[in-house]
Structure formats: structure tokens, C-alpha cells
Amino acid sequence: MARAASRDIVVLGPRRKARLEAIVRRSSAPQALVRRARIALLAHQRWPNAQIAAELGCTVNTVRTWRHRFARRGMPGLQDRPRSGRPEGYGPDVRLAIVATATSAPPAGCPARTHAMIAGQLPAAGISVSQVGRILAGLDLAPHRVRGWLNRRDDDQFWAQAAAVCDIYLRPPPGTVVICIDEKTGIQAKSRKHPERPPRPGRLARREFEYVRNGTLSVIAALHLATGQVITEPIEHNDSVTFTGFLHRLDQCTDPRLNIHLVIDNGPSHTSAATRAWLAAHPRITVTYTPKHPSWLDMAELWFSVLTRRLLRRGEFTSPADLAGKITDFAIRHNRTARPFTWTYDAGADHARYLARHGQQPPHRRMNTHEISGPNPSRTYAGLH
């Protein structure tokens, strides 16, 4: 009669086996716990201890220990036992006081609490600054850090405007040129005090820390949705006169047989009375405004991201004129191999999924793109043909 693989027989039910397999799959699980879970799973398959040790790259004693513990105690047996050592110097009362102090409003004149400030506010505890840091780290509490957040009212107008922009991208109107326009202001023309050293095998390129500011530049860009090509111009003022002048030149160089549909944000130069009057005088140009805050809905922002990463971040510019020339050269090179951006996001479908998750019904009457107007409700700019 063959000898059993081990006297510690492991039998797993479906739920316990699923929990062990989830531990093995989880990338954030501690490796020691993953190894113990794999020992239990292989023991369930009647593997002998020596074979499990060879498979997992550990000793037979390790396999024997955790197989025995799991067979006797189940899932709790995979955890470490309490170890001997010096007891905690600070009990629950001190820890609760630290948490209460860290999560309360800081004193006047201090935007955030520091570890030293928390320790100073608990003199009776006699706790050190470093111990405060260790306790907060163990609780995953970081009062010195902050994450940005935007409180936006969830209204149908926002989703309707976002859906109108996505409809233009996903289903462009026939016989219409769709153009995204945006400005990038205050671009710094910076140059390093000393030239950058080129990279060598085993060493990255080295760049001097100090730099010289040589002025700033603002540019306006128009992105052709169908081709991905752009037109850029340096601008001195970001106002209605500059914007309508740019639109006039865009109108002149576009085939008169085509309509023009613009996608722009709600900047003051785009929504002023002068701009609205100019658009009223040019009926072949229609406009869809992006909602407030989501600038990423304007595809021109995507091209500005490319410009920043490939030119502005490491470029050397001796003057605003030099910066303008290099931006123009970059746009020309970009247009030679330009391809349209692939837009997949659909705000209308996203809103429907959001309502379904929260058990809400869509509005009885959904605004269509003919009714999405800009900041001035007296005139509709987003009509589709």
C-alpha cells in the first residue's frame, strides 16, 4: 500500500479554494502569503511535501509547517502568529489622539499639519516626531498630502453639451469641415545657462539646472478633425479681435462649398458679444461649445499635449521669436505625417451608464444638438445639418 503524501490532509471546498486562488492572483498580496496559499492549493492536490518545496523553491520544513497549520486552522492558519518582543509603548488612547489631531482643522496660519506639529500638540503623551510618522504610516494617513478635486453639479445641461461635442467627433456632418480651436498662453521661452551634455552608453543626457527666462509667447491653434493637421499662429492678445481675425483667415482659406463647424471652449474671447456678432455675420460657421471645466473634450488640447512633450519640455529658446519659429517648424513637420486622433469616448452613452448604476431614469426629453447653445442662450451655435 502506497504511503500518503503527508499526514496533514488538506481538503478544500469551492469557496475556500476560490479564496486561495484569489490570493495567488492578487498582485498586491504579500509574497509570503502567496507562497502559503500555493502550498495549501498543492497540498489539496495530494502533492508530497518534497515536490511542493521543489516547485516553490523553499525548504521542506517550510512546506510542512504551513501545510500543518492550514490543515488544523484553515485560512487563519496562513497568518503569522503573535511574536514576542517589546510591547507597544503607546496604547490605543494615544493612537486615537494622534488620528483625531491629524484629521482636525490645523491652527490658523498653517495650511496643513506636520508630524512635528502633531507631536507638539500632544505633550502629555511624550511621543516623538518619528513615532508619530510611523503610527500615521501604519494607518495610511498622510495629513501633509492633498489631492485635487473638482465639485461639479451633475446637471443634464453638462451631459447634453458633452454629448454634442462627442456627436460631432463620432459622426461628423457631411459636407462640413470640423475644426477644434484653442489657445496656449504664457509659454516660457527658456534657455539653459550651459549646454546640455549628450547621452552616452550607461549615462543619461545631463542638463544644467539653471536657466534664463527670455520672455513668453501665446499661440492659437486650429486642428482639422479629419486629417489631424494643425495651423498655428503666435498672438499678442487673447481677445475677441485676435480670435475673430483668426476665424476670418480660417474662413478665407476654407473651400467656400463646405460648411465649417468649430469646437471651442467657453473662454471670454470665444463668447464675447463681438465674437457672437462676427459669427452671426458668417452663417456657414457653426459652433459647439465644450462644457465648463472638461477642456480635454477639445481635441486641440491633445495636440498641445504633443507639442509640450516633444518640443517645449526640453527645447532651448533664446527669445519669443525663436520660440514662435520653432513651434511653426514643429507644426509643419507634424502636418507631413499627421493622422487624425481616434476618438472613442461617447458622453451620451457614459451618462446612460451612470444613470443605470444609480437607479435613475434618463430625462423624458433629451436636448438634441440643435438646442445646445453657448453661454448666450439668445442664439443657438451647435446646430447640426
- Give 17's pLDDT tier (boundaries 50, 70, 90): very high
Are the C-beta atoms of 138 and 326 separated by less than 8 Å? no
- Whole-model pTM: value is 0.65
Residue 249, number of CB atoms within 10 A of its CB: 12
Are the C-beta atoms of 219 and 243 separated by less than 8 Å? no
List C-alpha distances in Å: 382 to 39, 57, 78, 254, 337: 63, 66, 62, 20, 31
Residue 103, number of CB atoms within 10 A of its CB: 10
pLDDT tens per residue, range 292-351: 888 889 999 999 999 999 999 999 999 999 999 999 999 999 999 999 999 999 988 888
**Which residues lie below 8 Å from residue 368, measured CB to CB, with a gap of 6+?**
none
Residue 172, number of CB atoms within 10 A of its CB: 15
To 10 degrees, the CA torsion angle through 198, 204, 208, 214?
Answer: 70
The C-alpha cell 494615544 sits at 94
Find the mean pLDDT for residues 33-58: 93
For 267, the grid coordinates are 473662454
Report the pLDDT value the prediction gives residue 92, as an integer from 0 to 100. Answer: 85
Q: What percent of the chain has pLDDT over 70?
A: 91
Report the pLDDT value the prediction gives residue 376, as an integer from 0 to 100. Answer: 36
Tell me how far apart the alpha carbons of residues 100 and 94 are, in angstroms, rounded to a whole number: 10
Find the mean pLDDT for residues 174-192: 94
Are the C-beta atoms of 219 and 320 separated by less than 8 Å? no
Are the C-beta atoms of 246 and 234 separated by less than 8 Å? no
Residue 26 has pLDDT above 50, yes or no: yes
For 110, the grid coordinates are 498653517
Question: Which of 35-49, 77-91, 166-180 has the least mean pLDDT?
Answer: 77-91
